[in-house]
Amino acid sequence: MKQSISGITRAATLLLILCLLSGCTLIKTGVALMHTREVFVASKTNPDVRYLAGASPEIAEQVANRVAAAIQHSREVVEKAHGAKFAHAPQVYICHADCFTRYVPVTVNEPAAQFGDSIFLNIDALLKREARGALQLEYILTHELTHLLLYQVGGTMAYGRVPAWFREGVALQISQGAGASEFVTMPEAARMLLDGKHFDPAEIGSIFANRTATAYKLTTPMFYREALMFVDFLKANNPAAFDKALHDIVIGKDFHESFEAAYGASIASYWPAFIASVAAITPMPNIN
């Protein structure tokens, strides 16, 4: 759809004002959204998986073929975990790092991102991680699909109101740790938790100020690992309640109310028992 020049100017001005209010993330987002996606080519076996050849066309096509072959299974894993189905087929865009950062307002080292109703994959970062022995890109795809399901089924507002720590913890749980397990070990995260350096389990969640790693002075992998450990604890504590809460959250019900209805207690009330369980399996440091 064509926009008039004045319409574009108005949009740019609005974005500039928003940028002044809350940093430049919104500007980057606006710019990323203005790039056409029509240059992407559909993979041979799945028209919803598209790629841009870039500097290494063969590698780009290979990655696209891998994603096309894996996406159905990943979808099923994510849908089963939530007891909910995607509203429509996920759209995946694959390209090299320079292109990836044009389309998504994140850094060049990020291997993937769910951006609105689409998933973008960064070929260079993904293959670099695989070369280091990290989880294969198929797991990263599952991680991003978990975010996309909440966005698609719950809606934009519900997505924004789920605390980031829970969104990431669940995405890691379903993708077998893709995103943190290769960078931060469980003992390292346990030490941080016991030292009181962690996210707030009572975080309300907000579309305006949803706190992520930097807000808690944690690295992203540490934030993710801690979130995964707490989410795993909650699930182990009562698997049926966890499944019910997750289903209600993904269909757009209030995050804290869903948890309380399923467990009969607030999510934060489980924190002391969680910390005690971490302490029980963490050796005391040597004191000389």
Give the binding site for Zn ion (CB under 5 A): 168, 171
Would you say 60 or 141 has its CB closer to Zn ion? 141
Query: CB of residue 148 vs Zn ion: minimum separation in angstroms?
Result: 10
Query: CB of residue 185 vs Zn ion: minimum separation in angstroms?
Result: 19
Would you say 26 or 162 has its CB closer to Zn ion? 162
Query: CB of residue 173 vs Zn ion: minimum separation in angstroms?
Result: 11
Query: CB of residue 144 vs Zn ion: minimum separation in angstroms?
Result: 7
Query: CB of residue 265 vs Zn ion: minimum separation in angstroms?
Result: 27
Would you say 63 or 171 has its CB closer to Zn ion? 171
Label each residue of the chain as H, E or C. CCCCHHHHHHHHHHHHHHHHHHCCHHHHHHHHHHCCCCCCEECCCCCCEEECCCCCHHHHHHHHHHHHHHHHHHHHHHHHHHCCCCCCCCEEEEECHHHHHHHCCCCCCCCEEEECCEEEEEHHHHHHHHHCCCCCHHHHHHHHHHHHHHHHHHCHHHHHHCCHHHHHHHHHHHCCCCCCCCCCCHHHHHHHHHCCCCCCCCCCCCCCCCCCHHHHCCCHHHHHHHHHHHHHHHHHHCHHHHHHHHHHHHCCCCHHHHHHHHHCCCCHHHHHHHHHHHHHCCCCCCCC
In the bound state, the residue with its beta carbon closest to Zn ion is 171
CA 37 to chain centroid: 22
Query: CB of residue 105 vs Zn ion: minimum separation in angstroms?
Result: 15
Would you say 168 or 203 has its CB closer to Zn ion? 168
Query: CB of residue 45 vs Zn ion: minimum separation in angstroms?
Result: 26
Would you say 124 or 168 has its CB closer to Zn ion? 168
Task: Specify whether the CB–CB gap between 94 and 49 falls below 8 A.
Answer: yes
Residue 73 Cα distances to 141, 152, 285, angstroms:
10, 18, 43
Would you say 43 or 173 has its CB closer to Zn ion? 173
Would you say 60 or 229 has its CB closer to Zn ion? 229
